[in-house]
Chain A
Amino acid sequence: MSANAVGLLAILPLCAGLAQVLLVGHRKACRAIGVVSLLGILGLALAGLLTITPSDPSQAAGLLVSQSGDWAAPYGITLAFDSLSGVLIAAASAVALGAYLHSFSSLAYDVERRYFHALVQMLMFGVNLSFLTGDLFNLFVGFEVMLMASYGLVTLGTTRTQMRQAYKYVLLNVLAGSIFLMAAGMVYGMTGTLNLADLARMVAEAEASQKAFAAGAISAEQVQTLPTGFTPLAVLLLMVFALKGGFFPLWFWLPDTYPTLPIGIAGLFGGLLTKVGVYAVARTFPAVFASDGLGGSDRALAWILVVAAAFTMFFAVLGAVSQGRVRRILAVHVISQVGYMVFGLAIALWVPRALAVEGSSMAGLTVAAYAMAGCVFYMVQHMVVKCSLFLCCGIMEMHAGTDKLDNLGGLLKRDTTLAVLFFIAAMSLVGLPPLSGFFGKMVIIQAGWRELWPLSVLGLLTGALTLLSMLKIWSYGFWNPPKAPVVNPPERVRSQGRSAYGGAALLVGLALFLGFGAELVYRVALQAGTQIMDRRPYIEAVLGEQGLDAVRGYELAVEQLETQAEPAVADQAPIEAETERVALSNTPTPALEADPEPRVLPTLSLAENPRGEASP
């Protein structure tokens, strides 16, 4: 795929949506356009991933960068397609396809007849734009497009309960949108740029200059600093992203809103929307806002994420166990699972950037990148699994006419297909070994085991409680004898709900693929994790080679100093010899390898304690 085809990923759903507006009322035409558009996005995203992923897994993946209108990077609109964007867009379009197919038989006739199709495409437009954009302001625009479409979908049925919950959703998101706009404006006021690569370049230069100053290579006047108030701005942005992502304590709107939606839309939202918030944190924080070793700002942000991860995982799963309706259990679980992703982000910001994974086959794979890869894999698997659970819940409701656990029962005998689909999806969510959830949790918990072991323990406990709540649905819904009269005979559900089964089966099949093909998916996820944590290739791809000139200048200055003062460095060599765990930066330059940077020393002491008994 050529770089300029990246724009198609956003334009395709936009055009499809506009066509569906013109064809409103023609259900079959709208359905056909929607399915073709979603398949097209999926195909394009996979083609893009094939283009950028190298055949040798140890090499770094490339980037496809499209500068709109050929305006050079910091001034024009940049669309950047890397492994993270690619894998998320592919997963999002597959999930949307499943939910969309399901809606054909689960959405009321007069709801579907109106603008449902166009709104789904607009939602995909916003989601894809958010995943692709290379600047902060277009991220805001992508968010707003996505939110406008989601406001429409939230209120589609116009029932009283929906209206009531819609205000909570709309007002909170409008508030978050305004804060995002202000924060983006202030980022421009402080730094003079909104391009993420340009911001990353500034931070990289500040870091390199401070390292050079610490090494004594440059004078105090030459040191670059970040503007005052950069970290508070980062916290402001984190709040916005956390609200979209449903992190603790900003998740209260989610369990009230999602259960009121038509089930196909609930599945779409549960799958996609929270991940966009997580994506925004993953994209902006490691590269820009949580810089390495600049006045400890990364530590403050890492603390926020660590606390958020712990509470999001654990409190939400407790909430899920206590619910008595399938929809509410699933909605609260969305939050609890987001906690694992936040955990992955928290590890990536918490551990020293250069700390390497022991015994990894990938050269220079850091713990931070490994945790981020776990986070990316978890995002993908959670999109698929959560959406498929919602879709199964829709079929359960077709059988029983309700989602109250007390009124369900006997579904195992009545509908074995549904039971199999639900069981696979539920066990994937729990993380039973051959299924996808296991591989996501394993990597994140493993990455956090050394430095953040209390969180890892909490993650395992959350997994156990997830199993409990899924077993609750399983035993009440499928195993128990039926408690209420059959609302719809199984034959009728089967004949009228064919596309509902099709959509659910598509996603469950995908979940199985993510479990059994985890190695393949992890190849891409590891590339994505490395790309997120290493800002240099991104800067070079967007700004061109000269983007890193200043950083290289500082490193060269340090290097020259080193070569002059060779004996002084030799004193440090014994320490470095016994610490093979501390790896060097991903793009090692001679300057960094011999960097006697004193701030790295605390991490060296970890190696003296190989069993990881260091108390937190």
Chain B
Amino acid sequence: MTMVLAICVAVVFTASVYLLLSRELKAVAMGVFLLGHAANLCVLAQSGEPVVVGDDGLLASKRPPILGQGESAANPLATLVDPLPQALILTAIVISFGVMAFVLTLLVVTSRAAETLDTHALALLEDVDVATPLSAGERPDEPHPAPEPSAA
């Protein structure tokens, strides 16, 4: 079972790196999305085998980590799932969800500011930006032409 998870992590990771390296920013955003999944799966694999060989020789799934739910007395972790990796994943999912929302917002703002979502086109745009000296009014660190209530 751990092997299956390991292969899953590898596949998801490969796909995400492939997407991250693409030129289209929407694909890059998808790559970010998959990257979070790959990391979460990898952490999930740390809780060990999800199945256990029962007394009858058949595979049975492990039980939820609540004492008194049929754990083996000698080594409870042999029959109960280790809950900590899942708690970690829960936190990580929230974080990667936040990052994803941010990246998608960034896409929208970029398409408005630069009118393209192609990294190549963006790179060309940047060259233009560097060559043009910014006029005084546009610099954010200029004292604003309009009188500022507090500074004046």
A-B interaction: yes
Task: Give the distance in Å from the alpha carbon of A175 to the alpha carbon of B39 in the complex.
Answer: 10
Task: Give the distance in Å from the alpha carbon of A497 to the alpha carbon of B130 in the complex.
Answer: 27
Q: Are B133 and A167 in contact (CB under 8 A)?
A: no
Q: Does B98 contact A (CB under 8 A)?
A: yes
A144-169 interface bits toward B, Cβ cutoff 8 Å, 1 = contact, 0 = none: 10001001100101111101101100
Q: Are A178 and B39 in contact (CB under 8 A)?
A: yes
The residue of chain B having its C-beta at the shortest distance from the C-beta of A189 within the complex is B46
CB distance from B67 to the nearest CB of A (A): 15
Q: Are A163 and B150 in contact (CB under 8 A)?
A: no
The stretch from A78-86, A101-109, A528-536 touching chain B is A101-109
User: Do A160 and B113 contact each other (CB < 8 Å), given the known contacts A188-B84, A402-B134, A498-B151?
Assistant: yes
User: Do A163 and B109 contact each other (CB < 8 Å), given the known contacts A157-B140, A178-B35?
Assistant: yes
A504-543 interface bits toward B, Cβ cutoff 8 Å, 1 = contact, 0 = none: 0000000000000000000000000000000000000000
The residue of chain A having its C-beta at the shortest distance from the C-beta of B92 within the complex is A181
Q: Are B39 and A497 in contact (CB under 8 A)?
A: no
Q: Does A21 contact B (CB under 8 A)?
A: no
Q: Apart from A181-B88, A189-B47, what are 13 other A-B pairs with CB-CB below 8 Å?
A: A105-B148, A107-B141, A109-B144, A159-B138, A161-B129, A164-B125, A170-B106, A175-B20, A182-B39, A262-B141, A394-B141, A495-B152, A496-B148
A473-500 interface bits toward B, Cβ cutoff 8 Å, 1 = contact, 0 = none: 0000000000000011000110111110
Could you write out 27 A-B pairs with CB less than 8 Å apart? A27-B149, A107-B140, A108-B144, A159-B138, A160-B113, A161-B130, A163-B106, A163-B114, A164-B122, A164-B123, A166-B106, A171-B28, A171-B32, A177-B95, A177-B99, A182-B43, A184-B88, A185-B42, A185-B46, A188-B46, A188-B85, A189-B45, A262-B140, A263-B140, A398-B142, A401-B139, A496-B148
CB distance from A477 to the nearest CB of B (A): 16
Question: Lowest 9 A-B CB distances belong to which pairs?
Answer: A189-B46, A185-B43, A178-B39, A401-B136, A496-B143, A108-B140, A262-B140, A263-B141, A181-B39
Q: Are B102 and A151 in contact (CB under 8 A)?
A: yes
A401: which B residues are within 8 A, CB to CB? Answer: 136, 139, 142
Q: Are B129 and A137 in contact (CB under 8 A)?
A: no
CB distance from B87 to the nearest CB of A (A): 9
CB distance from A390 to the nearest CB of B (A): 10
Residue among A144, A159, A167, A186 making CB contact with B28, cutoff 8 Å: A167
Q: Does B103 contact A (CB under 8 A)?
A: yes
Q: Are A397 and B114 in contact (CB under 8 A)?
A: no
Chain B contributes a number of interface residues (CB within 8 A of A) equal to 53
Q: Does A404 contact B (CB under 8 A)?
A: yes
Task: Give the distance in Å from the alpha carbon of A394 to the alpha carbon of B141 in the complex.
Answer: 7
A155: which B residues are within 8 A, CB to CB? Answer: 106, 109
The residue of chain A having its C-beta at the shortest distance from the C-beta of B42 within the complex is A182
A171: which B residues are within 8 A, CB to CB? Answer: 20, 28, 32
Q: Are B88 and A185 in contact (CB under 8 A)?
A: yes
Task: Give the distance in Å from the alpha carbon of A507 to the alpha carbon of B139 in the complex.
Answer: 24
CB distance from B133 to the nearest CB of A (A): 7
Q: Does A141 contact B (CB under 8 A)?
A: yes
Q: Does A28 contact B (CB under 8 A)?
A: yes
Q: Does B3 contact A (CB under 8 A)?
A: no
Q: List the interface of chain A (C-beta within 8 A of B).
A: 27-28, 31, 104-109, 111, 137, 140-141, 144, 148, 151-152, 155, 157-161, 163-164, 166-167, 170-171, 174-175, 177-179, 181-182, 184-186, 188-189, 262-264, 394, 397-398, 401-402, 404, 407, 487-488, 492-493, 495-499
The CB with the most chain B CB atoms within 10 A, among A105, A140, A185, is that of: A185
Residue among B92, B138, B151 making CB contact with A496, cutoff 8 Å: B151
The residue of chain B having its C-beta at the shortest distance from the C-beta of A398 within the complex is B143
Task: Give the distance in Å from the alpha carbon of A159 to the alpha carbon of B42 in the complex.
Answer: 37
Q: Does B81 contact A (CB under 8 A)?
A: no
Q: Does B61 contact A (CB under 8 A)?
A: no
The residue of chain A having its C-beta at the shortest distance from the C-beta of B137 within the complex is A401
Q: List the interface of chain B (C-beta within 8 A of A).
A: 20, 25, 28, 32, 35-36, 38-40, 42-43, 45-48, 84-85, 88, 91-92, 95, 98-99, 102-103, 106, 109-110, 113-114, 119, 122-123, 125-126, 129-130, 133-134, 136, 138-144, 146, 148-152
The residue of chain A having its C-beta at the shortest distance from the C-beta of B129 within the complex is A161
Residue among A164, A181, A262, A487 making CB contact with B43, cutoff 8 Å: A181
Task: Give the distance in Å from the alpha carbon of A394 to the alpha carbon of B142 in the complex.
Answer: 8
Task: Give the distance in Å from the alpha carbon of A404 to the alpha carbon of B144 in the complex.
Answer: 20
A397: which B residues are within 8 A, CB to CB? Answer: 139, 141-142
A28: which B residues are within 8 A, CB to CB? Answer: 150
Task: Give the distance in Å from the alpha carbon of A89 to the alpha carbon of B35 in the complex.
Answer: 32
Q: Are B102 and A497 in contact (CB under 8 A)?
A: no
Q: Are A404 and B106 in contact (CB under 8 A)?
A: no
Q: Are A137 and B91 in contact (CB under 8 A)?
A: yes
Q: Are B125 and A186 in contact (CB under 8 A)?
A: no
The residue of chain A having its C-beta at the shortest distance from the C-beta of B105 within the complex is A155
Q: Are B114 and A160 in contact (CB under 8 A)?
A: yes
Q: Are B143 and A105 in contact (CB under 8 A)?
A: yes
Task: Give the distance in Å from the alpha carbon of A498 to the alpha carbon of B152 in the complex.
Answer: 9
Task: Give the distance in Å from the alpha carbon of A331 to the alpha carbon of B23 in the complex.
Answer: 27
Task: Give the distance in Å from the alpha carbon of A140 to the alpha carbon of B94 in the complex.
Answer: 13
